[in-house]
Structure 1
Amino acid sequence: MNDVMQKLPAFVTNHALLVATFVVILIALVAGEVSRLFRKWKSLTPAGLTQLINRDTPLIVDLSASADFEKAHIPGAKNVAMSQFDPETQKDLAKAKELPVVLVDKDGRGVGKAANRLVKAGFTRVFVLDGGTYAWQTAQLPVAKGKK
Structure 2
Amino acid sequence: MQQFIDFFGNHLALFAAFGTVLLAIVANEVHGNVTGGKRVGPLEAVRMINDREPVIVDLRAMADFKKGHLLNAINIPAAKIEERATEFKDKARPILLYCALGGSSVEAAGKLRKLGFSEAYPIRGGLNGWMQSNLPVTAK
- What TM-score comes out, normalization by structure 2 length? 0.77
Instruction: Work out whether residues 62 and 77 of structure 1, in 8 Å CA contact, stay in contact via their aligned partners in 2.
Output: yes
Q: Which runs of 5+ in 1 are unaligned?
A: none
Alignment of 1:15-94 (within 5 A): 24-25=20-21, 27-39=23-35, 41-86=37-82, 89-93=84-88
Change (3 A) 1:141 1:20: closer
Question: If the length of structure 1 is used for normalisation, what is the TM-score?
Answer: 0.73
Does 2:92 correspond to 1:102?
no
Paired positions, count: 138
Cross-structure match for 2:137: 143
**Could you say what secondary structure the match of 2:104 adopts?**
coil
Q: State the Cα RMSD in Å.
A: 2.8
Question: Aligned to 1:129, which of 111, 123, 129?
Answer: 123
- Greater Cα radius of gyration, structure 1 or 2: 1
Tell me: CA distance 1:143–1:27, structure 2 relative to 1, closer, same or farther (3 Å).
Answer: closer
Residue ranges of structure 2 left out of the alignment (5+ in a row)? none
- Cα deviation, 1:3-56, whole Å, max 9, x if unaligned, reads 9xxx9xxx7xxx997787566545534433432443462212221111001110
Distance verdict in 2 for CA 1:140–1:23, change over 3 Å: closer
Identical amino acids, percent of aligned pairs: 34
Structure 1 Cα separation of the partners of residues 14 and 30 of structure 2: 24
CA distance in 2, matches of 1:24, 1:85: 35
